């Protein structure tokens, strides 16, 4: 099933769920089992997916060591910008509270059982207790319980050990790379059941709470896109100021791949054009070739901003407040678990459920987000792409490798194209689609192409 068709089915399921919950509330109350079953399917993916992708993402970049300081600077930049994105997401969630005032009562037996299972994972009340709890006594137990913080810590140490062993560890790394690909494909299969989960969740939610949830959707979309725009404005302004680059020229260079990313909600469709544009703009090919692919593992600004906002939203709609310590730990968790999630539709849903499980938030609330995930995905995918395009400029400038002459040529060429196009229109003879003269046909066709 194609992504566009699945998206259509999800929207249809969303509408059918709303209608069922509104016109047949008694039947809608019985459909929560569909959402519960879907979310259980997603939860079974979490541990193997995060373990394999984190290890491959960290240990699989042997070229970072080869590139030396460029690799180190790139990772430092990625983490700084990702942290800014997380802070903006947390600020938007805490200040605007998009889920407040609308409490979802997921009081089904399965939901309460799931919540009870999550609450025994860790009952830490202080930052110190949580830090101690991060280190597992048994990774098998951590995976079986779904304790993502412990899985992440084990994965990081495992990846470091693979790097230290070197060539002898390549078979293990290759195996985990294969496992990650299998789990991504597995995720795609599970997401085929998303329309069923959305239908059940929406029917149940509307049966309990009425149509007020539509206002919640609208508020969340506005808050997310506002936060994404704020992030882009801050990053673009800072980069252009530090690198001495005209902001409009940089926006011009990345606008085409950004539009592709927005319209398709897919990073891969826009990546080749983005790399081509950044080379034309003055970034050396070796910088583009390293930073852009690495960025899709370590620098998913739009996704991390969305995840921090989505965790707070999910907590608010079930009437929970996260403390400052919990939000700090959530930031640290998302900084690791959000790595390498680009490319697979709705895989951010898996990471979101993992984060919610770590903080004892009922995961069934995620079903509310799934109904509008396509709209949210368009924005976060675009910011992921733009963030990585900007990163290539920063690293090139950082290494004194940015080609300002090439940038000026790119700016001038765009000005020349614009001037010649305007001149052609101004000096062409008037022509009309119906009955224009044969000698003016060539001018008309050249203008309207």
pLDDT given at position 77:
92
Alpha carbons 315 and 201: distance in angstroms, whole number = 17
In this prediction, residue 293 has a pLDDT band, given cuts at 50, 70 and 90, of confident
For 16, 98, 188, 213, the CA distances from 202, given in Å and listed in that order, are 8, 18, 22, 9
Shared-domain flag, residues 381 and 358: yes
Q: Is the pLDDT of residue 372 over 90?
A: no
Using pLDDT thresholds of 50, 70 and 90, give the confidence band for residue 242: confident
Is residue 122 over pLDDT 50? no
Is 438 found in the same domain as 327?
A: no
Pick from 402, 417, 438: which residue ends a domain?
A: 402
Phi/psi region, residue 345 (left: phi>0; alpha: psi -120 to 50; beta: rest), is beta
Q: Does one domain contain both 183 and 223? A: yes
* pTM, entire model: 0.75
Q: Token pair of 8, please?
A: 């259509």
| One domain, residues 74 and 221 | yes
Q: Residue 446: left if φ>0, alpha if ψ -120 to 50, beta else—which one? A: alpha
In this predicted model, what pLDDT tens digit does every residue of 245-264 receive, in sequence order? 888 899 999 998 998 888 77
pLDDT at 137: 87
Structural domain count of the chain: 2
Q: Which two tokens stand for residue 317?
A: 């709609």
Give the model confidence (pLDDT) of 325-356 as tens digits: 888 888 888 887 777 665 555 677 888 888 88
Of 90, 147, 52, give the one whose Cα is nearest residue 356. 147
- Provide DSSP, 378-438: HHHHHHHHHHHHHHHHHHHHHTT---HHHHHHHHHHHHHHHHHHHHHHHHSPP--TTT--H
**What value does the mean pLDDT of the chain take?**
79
Q: Do residues 264 and 411 both lie within one domain? A: no
Helix residue ranges per DSSP H, 282-372: 285-298, 301-317, 324-337, 347-358, 366-370
- 228 confidence band (pLDDT: 50, 70, 90): very high
Residues 151 and 243 in one domain: yes
H helices present in 24-168, as ranges: 25-29, 32-59, 62-67, 69-96, 109-119, 127-133, 139-145, 148-165
Q: Tokens 């008309």 map to which residue?
A: 444
Same domain, 304 and 422: no
In this structure, the answer to whether residues 201 and 264 fall within a common structural domain is: yes
Whole-angstrom distance, CA of residue 168 vs CA of residue 328: 38
Overall average pLDDT of the 401-416 stretch: 86
CA 2 to chain centre: 20
Same domain, 428 and 319: no
Q: How far is CA 212 from CA 32, 99, 111, 268, 438, in A?
A: 18, 11, 22, 36, 62
CATH number at 115 reads: 1.10.3860
pLDDT of 116 above 60: no
Q: Which of these, 7, 367, 375, lies nearest to 203 by C-alpha position?
A: 367
User: Quick count: other Cβ atoms within 10 Å of Cβ 1?
Assistant: 11
Report the C-alpha gap between 186 and 29 in whole angstroms.
30
* Domain span including residue 431: 407-448
**Do 392 and 275 have their domain in common?**
yes
- Tell me the two tokens of residue 336: 């690791």
For residues 73 and 214, state if they share a domain: yes
Phi first, then psi: what are they for 113, rounded to 5°?
-65, -40
Same domain for 282 and 430, yes or no, is no
């Amino acid at each position: 099933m194609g992504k566009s068709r699945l998206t259509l089915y999800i929207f249809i399921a969303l509408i059918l769920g709303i209608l069922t919950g509104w016109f047949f509330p008694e039947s809608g109350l019985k459909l929560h089992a569909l959402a519960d079953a879907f979310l259980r399917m997603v939860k079974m993916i979490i541990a193997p997916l995060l373990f394999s992708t984190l290890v491959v993402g960290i240990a699989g970049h042997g070229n970072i060591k080869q590139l030396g300081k460029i690799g180190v600077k790139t990772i430092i930049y990625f983490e700084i910008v990702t942290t800014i994105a997380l802070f903006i997401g947390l600020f938007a969630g805490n200040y605007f509270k998009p889920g407040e005032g609308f409490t979802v009562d997921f009081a089904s037996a399965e939901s309460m059982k799931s919540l009870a299972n999550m609450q025994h994972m860790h009952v830490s009340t202080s930052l110190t207790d949580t830090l101690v709890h991060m280190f597992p006594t048994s990774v098998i137990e951590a995976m079986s319980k779904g304790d993502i913080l412990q899985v992440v810590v084990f994965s990081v140490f495992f990846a470091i050990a693979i790097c230290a062993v070197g060539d002898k560890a390549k078979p293990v790394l290759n195996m985990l790379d294969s496992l990650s690909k299998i789990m991504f494909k597995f995720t795609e299969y599970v997401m085929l059941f998303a329309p069923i989960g959305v239908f059940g969740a929406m029917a149940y939610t509307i049966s309990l709470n009425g149509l007020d949830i539509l206002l919640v959707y609208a508020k969340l979309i506005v808050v997310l896109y506002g936060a994404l725009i704020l992030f882009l404005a801050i990053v673009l302004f800072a980069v252009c100021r530090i690198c001495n680059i005209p902001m409009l020229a940089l926006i011009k260079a990345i606008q085409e791949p950004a539009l592709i990313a927005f319209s398709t909600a897919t990073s891969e469709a826009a990546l080749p054009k983005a790399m081509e544009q950044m080379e034309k703009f003055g970034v050396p090919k070796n910088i583009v070739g390293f930073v852009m692919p690495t960025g899709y593992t370590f620098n998913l600004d739009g996704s991390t901003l969305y995840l921090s906002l989505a965790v707070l939203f999910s907590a608010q709609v079930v009437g929970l407040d996260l403390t400052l310590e919990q939000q700090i730990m959530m930031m640290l968790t998302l900084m690791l678990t959000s790595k390498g999630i680009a490319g697979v539709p709705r895989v951010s849903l898996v990471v979101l459920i993992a984060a919610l499980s770590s903080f004892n938030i009922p995961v069934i609330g995620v079903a509310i987000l799934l109904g509008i995930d396509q709209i949210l995905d368009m924005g976060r995918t675009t910011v992921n792409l733009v963030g990585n395009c900007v990163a290539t400029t920063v690293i090139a400038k950082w290494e004194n490798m940015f080609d300002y002459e090439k940038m000026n040529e790119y700016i001038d060429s765009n000005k020349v194209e614009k001037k010649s196009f305007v001149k052609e229109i101004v000096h062409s003879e008037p022509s009309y689609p119906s009955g224009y003269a044969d000698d003016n046909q060539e001018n008309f066709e050249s203008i309207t192409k």
